[in-house]
Amino acid sequence: MFEKITFLVKESWKTIAPFWPLKNLVAVNPLKGLEDLPIEEALIKGAVFFQQTEMPAPIELINLQTIKWLQVFFDEGQATISMPFRSQGLYIAWKKLAYFDFQIHEGNQKKSNGY
């Protein structure tokens, strides 16, 4: 039994993509180990490892905004313009800049305009 578990654990690492720092995350293939399959089949088999196929709309919007701001904050010089107030920490920098982010306030503008 131990040998079978050991074998299965080792086999799982052929499919599970390695995790690197955020700056390299884009280069990680979530379908690692399934490259030899047709894309449709790889997506079906790979879906077993994903938590869910889609997120509820409000969570999706929060997720997109969170990713956007974290990318800006954790940038290591790839961006043309660095994040203002970055030296003051993530929350303070975000709080000072979020006021100017129209995507964050889009829902509030629609509610206040009556549509």
Give pLDDT tens digits for 16-46. Answer: 655 555 555 555 677 878 888 888 888 888 8
pTM for the predicted model, two decimal places: 0.47
pLDDT value of residue 100 = 93
**Dihedral of the alpha carbons of 61, 67, 73, 75, in degrees to the nearest 10:** -140
DSSP state of 6: H
pLDDT in tens, 60-91: 788 889 999 999 999 888 888 899 999 999 99
Instruction: Return the domain boundaries, the chain.
Output: 1-53, 55-115
In angstroms, the CA 70 to CA 72 distance is 5
